[in-house]
Structure 1
Amino acid sequence: MLKINKVHHVAIIASNYEKSKHFYTQILGLQVIREVYREARDSYKLDLAIGENYVIELFSFPNPPARPSRPESCGLRHLAFEVEDVAKAKSTIEAKGIEVEAIRIDEFTGKKFTFFADPDDLPIEFYEQ
């Protein structure tokens, strides 16, 4: 049987690389591991981490097609980050100008969660630990 250890990373293609780089590093606070410009592809690749864990590859490509998001579309539904306190995380990014939905309760776990969007309208969730 195949043994998978963990999710290694999530890859995201940004329509505006600088705007998305700012969002993921300055708004969400992810740390930059490395940033590479790949001339042959006219593309940036930014590797981001949470603490010691490599989590996101942020790419830029010339003229990427828009990703359908809402109503629910087939494919990756959202990206979720675990936080200790959803209300605190919500107010922290709202103070940086990000619109965040009302906090809800997961009917199966009783945990708090909320959603907001990245610059390309990718749904992002904060889920309480």
Structure 2
Amino acid sequence: MTTKFVHHICIQTNNYEESLKFYRDILGFELIEEFPNFHNRYYNSWLKLGAFYMELQTGKLDENLNYVNPKTQGINHFCIWVDDLVKEVQTIKQLGYDFILKNGEEIYQVENGYLCKLIAPEGTIVELRDNRGI
């Protein structure tokens, strides 16, 4: 059997600069390649976090992308494992981002750890998780 693994996810955005800033400056992705004017798109870029890749792209020229409803079928969110969830939440809050509350809490316990969720500028739900107690 050949080795299989997930190579990347692709996220489209109407506000490239805001989404790029979020993933690069807030979540710590490294911008690997940036291609302006790529196949009739303003931008198509590659970001990396550890061994995980993300393709970040705009819609086609003069195309306004629709918002995805989180109550639809398909991918609901993606998760980033962090060493210190409390510290990550404090840092992200200081930068002006809000979290999705559950029972009034930003961080809540689930099996095998704690997590929180926030919404990226283009609407992608990002989960942050660790396995230590608060």
Q: Provide the TM-score with structure 2 as the length reference.
A: 0.83
Unaligned runs of 5+ in 1: none
SS at match of 2:68: coil
2:31 and 2:45 in contact (8 A); partners too: yes
2:85 and 2:129 in contact (8 A); partners too: yes
1:85 and 1:128 in contact (8 A); partners too: yes
SS at match of 1:18: helix
SS at match of 1:114: strand
The alpha-carbon deviation at position 97 of structure 1 amounts to 0.4
The alpha-carbon deviation at position 66 of structure 1 amounts to 1.7
Residues 10-33 of structure 1 show CA distances to partners (whole Å, capped at 9, x for unaligned) of 110012111111111111121110
1:47 and 1:54 in contact (8 A); partners too: no
Q: Which residue of 2 is the match for residue 115 of structure 1?
A: 117
Q: Which residue of 1 is the match for residue 126 of structure 2?
A: 124
Unaligned runs of 5+ in 2: none
Change in CA separation of 1:74 and 1:97 when aligned onto 2, cut-off 3 Å: same
Change in CA separation of 1:126 and 1:39 when aligned onto 2, cut-off 3 Å: closer
Change in CA separation of 1:31 and 1:39 when aligned onto 2, cut-off 3 Å: closer
The alpha-carbon deviation at position 83 of structure 1 amounts to 0.4
1:7-86 paired onto structure 2 within 5 Å = 7-51=6-50, 53-61=51-59, 62-69=63-70, 72-86=71-85
Q: Which residue of 2 is the match for residue 104 of structure 1?
A: 108
1:82 and 1:127 in contact (8 A); partners too: yes
2:67 and 2:123 in contact (8 A); partners too: no
Q: May I ask how many residue pairs the two structures share in their alignment? A: 123
RMSD: 1.7
Percent pairwise identity:
26
2:41 and 2:57 in contact (8 A); partners too: no
Q: Which residue of 2 is the match for residue 6 of structure 1?
A: 5
Change in CA separation of 1:5 and 1:56 when aligned onto 2, cut-off 3 Å: same
